[in-house]
Amino acid sequence: MNSPFTDSDPHKRAKVIAFGQPLDKAARVIITIHGRGATAQSMKALCDELELNDTAFLAPQANDFAWYPYSFMAPVEQNQPYLNSALSLLEDLEKRVNEQGFSYEQICWMGFSQGACLISEYSSRNAKRYGGIFVLSGGVIGETIDSSNYSGDFNQTPVFIGCSDVDAHIPVERVHETGTVLQNLGANVDKRIYPGMGHHVNEDEIVAMKEMLEAESRSDR
């Protein structure tokens, strides 16, 4: 496979689009990460379904529409330097949002497919009390799971993990392993496996995410 990436830090200059509430009027920020072959703009339809009038959304665009070139189950070295570049981008986005006055508890992560894998990996390496993590058809990255990569304390961060039991891209065993990784770091995980579902987001997942965010909003009052 010929790599589409030539830069040692291919996502460094990633464009980030914003929708929803402006940052200066938002109660929370959801950083939303698209899947392979998709665009940042494609995440807007999913975000709209959440019907959140108090939320700013930030969606970065991967270089050449992919965060890393091979499967998330490939040896990590095969996906470098693209994976590290993507993780650095997420770290930079989190830092920028935090510096604009949002606490970590006001920051949420949402990703689909390759984006879900990326937020699983990033948040597990940097566990802290976020406002929510929504893993839609994805899991932590690597041929095997190296628990030494993961540190911190989610401190009961609400986490939703949803995936099909027959997803052609995401082995259900890795979904279960991902739930365990996050639970071991102190997350409050709601994991749902959908029999026979394709590689997409269903209505039950939308409802579950909305309920988690509404519960978080009530607890802040």
Which secondary-structure segment (H or E) carries 52?
A: none
pLDDT score for 2: 40
Query: Is residue 130's pLDDT more than 90?
Result: yes
Give, for 97, the enclosing helix (H) or strand (E). helix 82-99
Residue 168: name the closest of 124, 137, 211 by CA: 137
Q: Which of 30, 8, 13, 12 has the alpha carbon at shortest distance from 21?
A: 30
What are the structure tokens assigned to 90, written together? 């997420």
Domain ranges across the chain: 16-219
Average pLDDT, the chain: 95
Residue in the block written with tokens 């993507």:
86
pLDDT at residue 221 greater than cutoff 60: no
pLDDT in tens, 95-118: 999 999 999 999 999 999 999 999
DSSP secondary structure code for residue 195 in this structure: T
Contact 135, 32 (CB under 8 A): no
Other CB atoms within a 10 A radius of the CB of residue 80 amount to: 13
- For the domain spanning 16-219, the CATH number is 3.40.50.1820
pLDDT digits (tens, 9 = 90+) for 31-57: 999 999 999 999 999 999 999 999 999
| DSSP 8-state assignment for residue 59 | E
Report pLDDT for 220.
Answer: 64
DSSP string for residues in 99-122: HTT--GGGEEEEEETHHHHHHHHH
Output the pTM of the full model.
0.95
For the stretch 161-210, pLDDT in tens is: 999 999 999 999 999 999 999 999 999 999 999 999 999 999 999 999 99
Scanning the structure block, which residue is given the tokens 């189950």? 73
pLDDT of residue 219: 72
For the record, the structure tokens of 24 come out as 């200066």
Check whether 6 has a pLDDT greater than 90.
Answer: no
> Are the C-beta atoms of residues 6 and 83 closer than 8 Å to each other?
no
12 backbone dihedrals φ, ψ, rounded to 5°: -60, -40
Residue 152's CB is within 10 A of a number of other CB atoms, namely 14
Tell me the sheet residues that pair with 109. 31, 133
